[in-house]
Amino acid sequence: MPNLFSQEAGPQPPREIRAQVEIMALLKTLMQNRDPLTVTFTDRSQKFQSFIVKLDTDQGELWIDELIPREGDKYASQGESFRIDAWHEGIHMRWDCPGATQVELDDAPAYAAGVPDELFYHQKRGAFRASVRRTADIAVELAHPERKRRFTAYLMDLSATGCKIRLEGDMSRSLSPGELYTPATLHLPDAGRVEVAMEVRHVEYREEANETHAGMMFKQPTALAQRSIDRFVNFLQREARRMEKEDLF
């Protein structure tokens, strides 16, 4: 089976995966990485969060944790159908569940549903990264919900799926790969404050500049936030092309 998470040259068109061995591999990855699931019940607009807590290959079942907010447990207990969206390293996965059965896992409620026959898979990695001029000083505010940390950083580049930021001094021990900062606020020109959740992907301290550079990935941005980010990336791309043309003369 090909590695579905191997690095590709650019974003790939959406496709449906129907091979059970591939579907189980993807679900196992989501479970092992504790990637959050967004659960949306049919004919309901509210979204709920959960996680895969168990995969039963023999029974062909996946178990998800109790839902947040807890109101979702009522809909799940009633057997309502729902859709699950998940993201892993810039890859969007989606599948439908006709319903779930309430079960118990470690004395806590969970919900068992059948492993899907098909899974929507869309790789968005490899998105165009637009450089941001250092003189622009576009600020990024980071807040950690549990550790009560707050940082102010500045954009180095930006894409539809993430960004690279710089911070003054050695912050390599304060930012750890895998940490989620929410809310994180991008202060984009014209768009103003754009709030997203950001996950730390990699961190590097540049001693010669006394700066820390960190790669960040956006986690499930709202449609409004994504549009604001996409518009600014397009603006940066147009500016880069304009500068290239001016350099020709």
Q: Which domains does the chain have, with CATH numbers?
A: 15-123 (2.30.110.10), 130-242 (2.40.10.220)
The pTM of the full predicted model, rounded to 2 decimals, is 0.51
pLDDT in tens, 105-131: 887 889 999 999 999 988 765 566 778
Show the low-confidence residues of the chain (pLDDT under 50).
1-3, 5-9, 247-249
Residue 162 one-letter amino acid: G
Place of tokens 């941005």: 221
* Cα dihedral 94/98/103/108 (nearest 10): 40
Which class for 101: exposed (0-12), middle (13-18), buried (19 or more C-beta within 10 A)?
A: middle
CA distance 151 to 154: 10
pLDDT in tens, 27-43: 998 998 788 899 999 99
CA distance 193 to 139: 10
Closest-CA residue to 141 (of 172, 183, 170, 180): 183
Supply the pLDDT for residue 172. Answer: 86
Contact yes or no for 192/225 (Cβ under 8 A): no
Supply the pLDDT for residue 149. Answer: 79
Supply the pLDDT for residue 126. Answer: 59
Supply the pLDDT for residue 173. Answer: 85
Supply the pLDDT for residue 46. Answer: 92
